[in-house]
């Protein structure tokens, strides 16, 4: 069997590391064309040596010499700078794992989509901010988008792509994060250390905070709207603390299909790597008897207003999702720096949405313009909430 060529954008993050782990366990099945990272030179070099990558690209041009030295004797070609990241993203690998966090991943993802191959998308912010632009690019080139997020991957596995008219509703599950049972008053005192301690998943700091505010679920509803083209009212979310049922698809006849599994990101990553086949993973096998129970509850939009914000702009579309994403990134960064409180995150995003209402972006450049202005506005708003 011919090895599938793979490029990993964001190789030193949690998704990138899990992807490399799976590739390393399947020698001969994959050939790694390129790995990229933002600033982690040593992590990138170690990963490149581990999988024998042809190219390794560091996002900061200032780190080129350090990367070249770290790769000495490995056979991996070093490169540096944002343009180099975009270049390898569009080099035509059979599958590009897009795992760069935030809007920084948009340009490389667009390059991968324009190559007309398969993009395993683990960067929800790009699709939230530029969903129409990205899906149009994929349609034009013939590229396939395979979702990596556990919820969207679950939907993809349960979704009848040939007969979408038979689907009534899509329900994304949310763990509820570490503060699911805390009162509003208790949540005012939350620290960054508490917010990044997710009860079920191992994720980066920003994603963990998004899970704690339920902003991640709001962004995922917008992402699902672009991936699975149903009406805005067909998408909903439910709290499921065990993180065993990853999402559900309800059909018009009343049937509901769900994908279940242990909360391990290597399962959806493996699905995208092997697609349309399946591959073995070292993940814990689901034992429903040991799990014992599966609980579900409606999200409390008073304690978690971020989810309500996202649901409100889902149908509105336009530039609103890009503004929400940018404002959230600015607010989360301020919270992680202990400059604002936990509950201020959603408040800042709401204010940004209320004062900035540009036309819908029609190109990547226009998306970046909206994103940049939204960040400026949000940074000014943060100033009102500084501790």
pLDDT in tens, 328-363: 999 999 999 999 999 999 999 999 999 999 999 999
Rounded Cα distance between 74 and 77, Å, is 8
Q: Residues 135, 19: one domain?
A: yes
Question: Residue ranges of the alpha helices (H) in 52-170?
Answer: 64-70, 82-89, 106-114, 124-141, 150-158
Residue at a domain's end among 133, 148, 163:
148
pLDDT value at residue 239: 97
Is the pLDDT confidence value at 317 over 90? no
Question: Total domain count for the chain?
Answer: 3
Q: If pLDDT is split at 50, 70 and 90, which confidence band does 307 have?
A: very high
Q: Residue 199: what pLDDT?
A: 65
- pLDDT of 124: 81
Mean of the per-residue pLDDT values of the chain: 94
- Is the model's pLDDT at 386 over the cut of 80? yes
Q: What is the mean pLDDT of the segment spanning 75-86?
A: 97
> What per-residue confidence (pLDDT) applies to 30?
97
What pLDDT is recorded for position 74?
Answer: 96
Q: Quick one: CA torsion of 195, 197, 200, 206, rounded to 10 degrees? A: 60
User: What is the model's pLDDT at position 201?
Assistant: 57
Q: Residue 66 is part of a domain; what is its CATH number?
A: 3.40.50.720
Q: What is the pLDDT of residues 131-184, one digit of tens each?
A: 999 999 999 999 999 999 999 999 999 999 999 999 999 999 999 989 999 999
Q: Dihedral, CA atoms, 280, 284, 286, 291, nearest 10 degrees? A: -170
- Do 289 and 174 fall into the same domain? yes
Average pLDDT over residues 208-228: 94
Per-residue DSSP letter, 370: H
pLDDT tier, 202 (very low <50, low <70, confident <90, very high otherwise): low
Predicted pLDDT at 104:
79
Asked if 301 contacts 217 with a C-beta cutoff of 8 angstroms, the reply is: no
Closest CA to 219 of 262, 162, 183, 174: 174
pLDDT at 315: 80
* Same domain assignment for residues 29 and 112: yes
Same domain, 157 and 293: yes
d(CA 224, CA 187): 28
Percent of the chain with pLDDT over 70: 98
Report which of 219, 235, 29, 9 is spatially closest to residue 100, judged by C-alpha positions: 9
Do 303 and 233 have their domain in common? yes
159 and 306 share one domain: yes
Residue 187 within a domain: yes
Check whether residue 136 and residue 199 sit in a common domain.
Answer: no
pLDDT digits (tens, 9 = 90+) for 257-282: 999 999 899 999 999 999 999 999 99
14 and 139 inside one domain: yes
How high is the pLDDT of residue 103?
75
In a domain, 104, yes or no: yes
- Interatomic CA distance for residues 47 and 49, integer angstroms: 5
- Asked whether residue 162 falls in the same domain as residue 134, the answer is no
What is the domain extent for residue 331?
A: 318-387
357 found inside a domain: yes
Q: Give the pLDDT band (50/70/90) at residue 125.
A: confident
273: in domain? no
> For the residues of 289-312, what is the DSSP string, one character each?
HHH-----B---TTT-HHHHHHHH
- Mean pLDDT in residue range 190-213: 82
Provide the whole-model pTM.
Answer: 0.92
Q: Is residue 271 part of a domain?
A: no
Residue 277 included in any domain = no
Residue 204 has pLDDT above 80, yes or no: no
Q: Are the C-beta atoms of residues 238 and 297 closer than 8 Å to each other?
A: yes
How far apart CA 376 and CA 42 sit, in angstroms, is 33
Residues 6 or more apart whose Cβ sits within 8 Å of residue 24:
50, 51
Contacts of 84 (CB under 8 A, 6+ apart): 57
**What pLDDT sits at residue 337?**
95
Residue 1 has pLDDT above 90, yes or no: no
pLDDT at 213: 96
For residue 47, being part of any structural domain is answered with yes
Is 235 within the bounds of a domain? yes
Same domain (yes/no): 77, 20 = yes
What are the structure tokens assigned to 58, written together? 């560091």
DSSP helix/strand/coil, 277:
coil
Indicate if 293 and 348 belong to the same structural domain. Answer: no
160 and 135 part of one domain:
no
């Amino acid at each position: 069997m011919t090895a599938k060529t793979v490029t990993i954008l964001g190789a030193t993050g949690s998704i990138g590391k899990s992807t490399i782990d799976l590739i390393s366990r399947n020698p001969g099945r994959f050939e790694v064309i390129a790995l990229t990272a933002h600033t982690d030179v040593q992590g990138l070099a170690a990963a490149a040596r581990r999988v024998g990558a042809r190219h390794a690209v560091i996002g900061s041009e200032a780190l080129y010499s350090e990367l070249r030295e770290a790769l000495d004797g490995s056979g991996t070609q070093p490169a540096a700078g944002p343009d180099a990241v975009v270049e390898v993203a569009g080099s035509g690998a059979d599958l590009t794992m897009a795992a760069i966090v935030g809007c920084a991943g948009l340009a490389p993802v667009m390059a991968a989509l324009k190559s007309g191959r398969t993009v395993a998308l683990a960067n929800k912010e790009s699709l939230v901010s530029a969903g129409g632009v990205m899906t149009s690019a994929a349609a034009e080139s013939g590229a396939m988008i395979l979702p990596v997020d556990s919820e969207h991957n679950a939907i993809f596995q349960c979704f009848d792509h040939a007969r979408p008219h038979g689907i009534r509703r899509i329900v994304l599950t949310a763990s509820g994060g570490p503060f699911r049972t805390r009162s509003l008053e208790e949540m005012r005192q939350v620290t960054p250390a508490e917010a990044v301690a997710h009860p079920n998943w191992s994720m980066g700091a920003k994603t963990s905070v998004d899970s704690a505010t339920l902003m991640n679920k709001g962004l995922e509803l917008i992402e699902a709207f672009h991936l699975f083209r149903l009406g805005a009212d067909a998408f909903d979310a439910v709290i499921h603390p065990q993180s065993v049922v990853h999402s559900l698809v309800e059909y018009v006849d009343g049937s509901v299909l769900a994908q279940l599994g242990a909360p391990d990101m290597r399962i959806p990553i493996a699905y995208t790597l092997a697609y349309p086949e399946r591959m073995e993973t070292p993940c814990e096998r689901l034992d429903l008897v040991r799990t014992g129970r599966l609980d579900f509850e409606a999200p409390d939009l008073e304690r978690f207003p971020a989810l309500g914000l996202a649901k409100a702009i889902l149908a509105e579309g336009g530039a609103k999702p890009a503004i929400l994403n940018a404002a959230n990134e600015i607010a989360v960064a301020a919270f992680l720096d202990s400059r604002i409180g936990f509950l201020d995150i959603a408040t800042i995003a709401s204010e940004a949405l209320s004062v900035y209402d540009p036309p819908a972006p029609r190109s990547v450049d226009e998306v970046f313009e909206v994103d940049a202005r939204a960040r400026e506005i949000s940074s000014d708003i943060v100033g009102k909430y500084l501790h």
